A and B are shown apart, each in its own frame.
Chain A
Amino acid sequence: MMMRSKPDEDDYWNSSKFRAFTFDDDDDEFSTLKESKRAVNSIVVDDDDDDDEDDVEKVSWSGEPVGSISWSIKETASSVHVGGQDHGFPKIDSTPSLPRQGSGYSLSSLFKGRPKSGSIQAISESFPDVPSRSFAPELRKPKAEYKDYSDWSPEETVRRMQRGKAYSFETFRSLKDKMLLLDEAVHANDGNVITAVLIFLKKSLSKEILSRELTSREIALRHYIHYLKEMGEQKSLVELLKSLGRTEDMALLQYKEHLNIKDEVRKKEYLKACIGLPFSPEDASHVQDHYTLLERQIIIEANDKQAENKVEVFKKHPRKASILNMPIITTLYYSCFYHYGEPEGTFSSPANIRSTFKISEKQYFLTVLGARAKLKEWFDVDRLFTAKNWFGYTKKKSPIGFHRVVDILQKNNAPVQVLQEYVSLVEDTEQKISLAQKYKCHDIVIDTYKDLKDRQQLIIYQGKVERNSPEDRKIQDLLNNTQIRWKN
Chain B
Amino acid sequence: MAAHLSYGRVNLNILREAARKELREFLDKCAGSKAIVWDEYLTGPFGLIAQYSLLKEHEVEKMFTLKPGRLPAADVKNIIFFVRPKLELMDIIADNVASEDKLRTPRDFHVLFVPRRSLLCEQRLKEKGVLGSLINVDEYILDLIPYDGDLLSMESESAFRECYLENDQTSLYHTAKGLMTLQALYGTIPQIFGKGECARHVANMMLRMKREFAGCQTQILPVFDTLLLLDRNVDLLTPLATQLTYEGLIDEIYSINNGYVKLPPEKFAQKKQGEGEKDLPTEPKKLQLNSAEELYAEIRDKNFNAVGAALSKKAKIISAAFEERHNAKTVGEIKQFVSQLPHMQAARTSLANHTSVAELIKDITTSDAFFDNLTVEQEFMTGVDTDKANTYIEDCIARKDPLIKILRLVCMQSVCNNGLKQKVLDFYKREILQTYGFQHILTLNNLEKAGLLKLQTATRNNYPTIRKTLKLWMEDANEQVASHQFYVLQKAEYVPVCRPTSTGQQGENRITLVFFLGGVTYAEIAALRFLSQMEDGGTEYVIATTKLINGTSFIKSLMERLEVPP
Contact = CB atoms under 8 A, between A and B. Distances in A.
Contact of B398 (A2, A97, A219, A362): A362
B170 A33 contact: no
A135 B119 contact: yes
B56 interface: yes
Contact of B434 (A54, A139, A359): A359
A26 to B, nearest CB: 12
Nearest to B2: A96
Given A17-B477, A50-B345, A287-B438, A106 B22 contact: yes
Interface residues of B, number: 143
Interface of A: 1-2, 15-18, 20-21, 23, 29-33, 35-45, 47, 50, 53-57, 59, 61-65, 67-73, 76-77, 79, 89, 91-94, 96-98, 100-103, 105-108, 110-111, 113, 116, 121, 124-125, 128, 131-133, 135-136, 138-140, 161, 164, 188-193, 195-196, 199, 219, 222-223, 225-227, 230-231, 252, 255-256, 258-260, 282-283, 286-287, 289-290, 293, 325-329, 357-360, 362-363, 366, 404
Interface of B: 1-3, 6, 11, 13-14, 17-19, 21-22, 25, 29, 31, 38, 40, 43-44, 46-47, 50-57, 61-65, 72, 87, 108, 116-120, 122-123, 126, 131, 135-139, 141, 166-170, 172-173, 176-177, 180-181, 184-185, 205, 213, 215-216, 262, 271, 273, 283-286, 288, 293, 305-306, 308-309, 311-312, 314-316, 318-319, 322, 341-343, 345-346, 348-352, 355-356, 358-359, 362, 365-366, 371-372, 374-375, 392, 394-395, 398, 400, 426, 429-431, 433-439, 441-442, 445, 474-480, 491-492, 560, 562, 564-565
A54 B342 contact: yes
A286 to B, nearest CB: 6
Contacts of A191: 168-170, 173
A40 B64 contact: no
Contact of B286 (A37, A65, A103, A362): A65
A29 B170 contact: no
Contact of A111 (B17, B120, B213, B426): B213
Contacts of B445: 252, 283
A132 B431 CA distance: 58
A73 B38 contact: yes
Given A36-B351, A192-B116, A139 B141 contact: no
Contacts of B108: 128
A33 B358 contact: yes
A111 B61 CA distance: 32
A327 B562 contact: no
B433 A164 contact: no
A92 B170 contact: no
Contacts of B311: 32-33, 36
B6 A98 contact: yes
Contacts of B141: 107-108
A56 B349 contact: yes
8 contacts: A17-B477, A32-B312, A33-B311, A36-B311, A45-B345, A65-B286, A189-B172, A358-B430
Contacts of B87: 230-231
Contacts of A255: 441-442
Contact of A327 (B283, B350, B435): B435
Given A102-B18, A135-B122, A69 B50 contact: yes
Contacts of B395: 404
A256 B65 contact: no
B65 A77 contact: yes
A189 B170 contact: yes
A107 B136 contact: no
Contact of A69 (B6, B63, B374, B434): B63
A258 B426 CA distance: 23
